[in-house]
Amino acid sequence: MLFNSPEFLFLFLPAACLIFYFARRVSPTAQVVSIIGLSLFFYGYWRIEYLPVLLFSLATNGLFAFLMGRARSEGVRKALLVLGVATALSVLGFYKYTHFLLENLSLLFGFDYTGQAGEIPIGLSFYTFTAIAFLTDIHTRRIQGYTWPEYGATITYFPHLVAGPILFHHDTIPQLRMPGGIRFTPERVMLFLFFFSVGLLKKTGLADNIAHFSDPIFTQVAGGGIPDPGQAWRAALCYSMQLYFDFSGYSDMAIGLGCLLGIRIPANFYSPYRSRNIAEFWQRWHISLGYFLRTYLYIPLGGNRKGASRTLVNLFIVFFLCGLWHGAGWTFVVWGVMHGVAMVVQRVFSSRVRLPDTRLVAACSILVTFVFAVFAWVVFRAESFHSAWVIMQAMVGVSGSRLHNLPDQHVELYLGLLLLVVWLMPNTLQVMRRFDPAILLGRRNEYPFARLVPAALREGRAFAYAAGTLSALALVTGTVFMFVNGQVRYLYFDF
């Protein structure tokens, strides 16, 4: 069941709200349990055969956490943590990397392998990482008390279940313990309508439509075609915008659903194309993944505590694994290596050179970071290294022919408008920041929304009218596109 589907918007969501808020009249615990039931139904509706995988993850990780909490020996606790993490990763590895591993082993050792990659259970990576973070927090005693409903509700919480963000029990459990349960309020409805409507419009009206300009180019290149420089840049920029608004749209819709149910989730997207360097990019793009990798991988590896050289090695390892997490393919690995190398270069450069803090330098830094991200997205999107190489060569003018039969409906103007939006417009979290709609993991540079918009439009009745009008227009327009374009999967469903 997709967020951008009629059955979710008009059937499941209203029924879920009624059940969730009615359960509070029974008890706060019943309200938490209702989250688990609703989320399991939501997940099973998509693919009932994958429900046992989620239940197995719930049961095994819960068992290891329970045993860890009872163990008195630190050695036993550590052994249980290692065994629990290994079990969780083995399930992830079986479904996501078995075909990739066997395919490469067959090439290396020369045996015959003709298997096909199977479909990955939706959301497997996200609820697996949520479970690993939970086990680690139990081991470090960051979480010292929890109930089984609180544990299960955080893992299965349907706003995050299929495409993130990664949830962390130390943030979620306190919200589930609100005295008297979570109450229905007009503010929750207002925040839901704003975030969900804007997110729906981003997905159905922007991301799905601009895909019509990039997909044919990547498809023709995969079939042997060679684009000219303009077509290559069109493919790269259109895909960069498609992925941006697809991920941003889902993140907004998930935040809106979290606001409606009174359980805030982490902000997962914060205007990443405004980043001045690649380190800042990863503080703004897939924020929960970056937080997870930093907290549960980079710091345990030693972080920056073991000297400059070890720090650079740790950064590279993290982004190598980040690329592999995104997909079982060498293009994803190389994409991760590109970001790892960029992080190393940026760390070395920033330690030796201090750039002047001027607007011109900031603008140039943003442009350089954006261009790097666009080139990296070509590798991320392409069917093969050859296809990526053909497009990147054309982008720098080394080679080029021309593709035919491509849609050309003023795409340059469309791209220009989208770039103005991502670089100049305040994001949804900035517009609604005084309501604290999401959990902010880490620190990000605050975009000066207050300088662009007069105070009268940022608060009071004028703000309410403006937000309500925008929500209504976005909901109507996004719903129209939803029916016109059909149910298009979110790109991050595949990761």
Residue 412 neighbours by CB under 8 Å, 6+ apart: 234
**pLDDT number for residue 206:** 93
- Helix-helix angle 51-70:148-156, to 10 degrees: 140
What's the mean pLDDT in 123-144?
93
pLDDT tens-digit profile of 170-229? 999 999 998 888 999 989 999 999 999 999 999 999 999 999 899 999 999 999 899 999
**pLDDT number for residue 57:** 94
pLDDT tens-digit profile of 45-72? 878 999 999 999 999 999 999 999 899 8
**pLDDT number for residue 448:** 46
The answer to whether the CB of 33 falls within 8 A of the CB of 151 is no
Every domain of the chain and the residues it spans: 6-183, 187-494
**pLDDT number for residue 459:** 59
pLDDT bin (cut points 50, 70, 90) of residue 104 is confident
What's the mean pLDDT in 327-353?
92
**pLDDT number for residue 451:** 47
What's the mean pLDDT in 366-393?
95
**pLDDT number for residue 113:** 79
- The tokens for 482 are 């939803």
> How far is the C-alpha of 491 from the C-alpha of 488, rounded, in Å?
9
* Residue 388, CA atoms < 13 Å, CB-side half-sphere: 17
**pLDDT number for residue 28:** 93
Q: Which residue has the higher pLDDT, 164 or 276?
A: 276
User: Tokens 């009629």 map to which residue?
Assistant: 6
pLDDT tens-digit profile of 442-489? 655 454 444 445 554 555 677 777 888 888 999 999 999 989 888 787
pLDDT bin (cut points 50, 70, 90) of residue 76 is very high
Measuring CA to CA, which residue among 292, 293, 297, 272 is closest to residue 283?
272
pLDDT tens-digit profile of 230-239? 899 999 999 9
Of 37-41, 116-120, 390-394, minimum mean pLDDT range = 116-120
What's the mean pLDDT in 84-106?
91
386 is catalytic: no
What's the mean pLDDT in 76-92?
95
- In the chain, pLDDT over 70 holds for what percent of residues? 95
Q: Which residue has the higher pLDDT, 36 or 404?
A: 36
Q: Which residue has the higher pLDDT, 494 or 305?
A: 305
> How far is the C-alpha of 221 from the C-alpha of 239, rounded, in Å?
14
**pLDDT number for residue 460:** 63
- For residue 263, pLDDT beyond 90: yes
> How far is the C-alpha of 127 from the C-alpha of 303, rounded, in Å?
25
- For residue 291, pLDDT beyond 90: yes
> How far is the C-alpha of 412 from the C-alpha of 164, rounded, in Å?
32
**pLDDT number for residue 450:** 44
Which one of the listed residues 139, 169, 286, 326 is annotated catalytic?
326
> How far is the C-alpha of 315 from the C-alpha of 23, rounded, in Å?
46
Q: What are phi and psi of 402, to 5 degrees?
A: -165, 135
* Whether the predicted model's global pTM rises above the 0.75 cut: yes
pLDDT tens-digit profile of 3-13? 888 999 999 99
Cα dist from 266 to 78, 96, 98, 202, 237, whole Å: 28, 25, 31, 19, 28
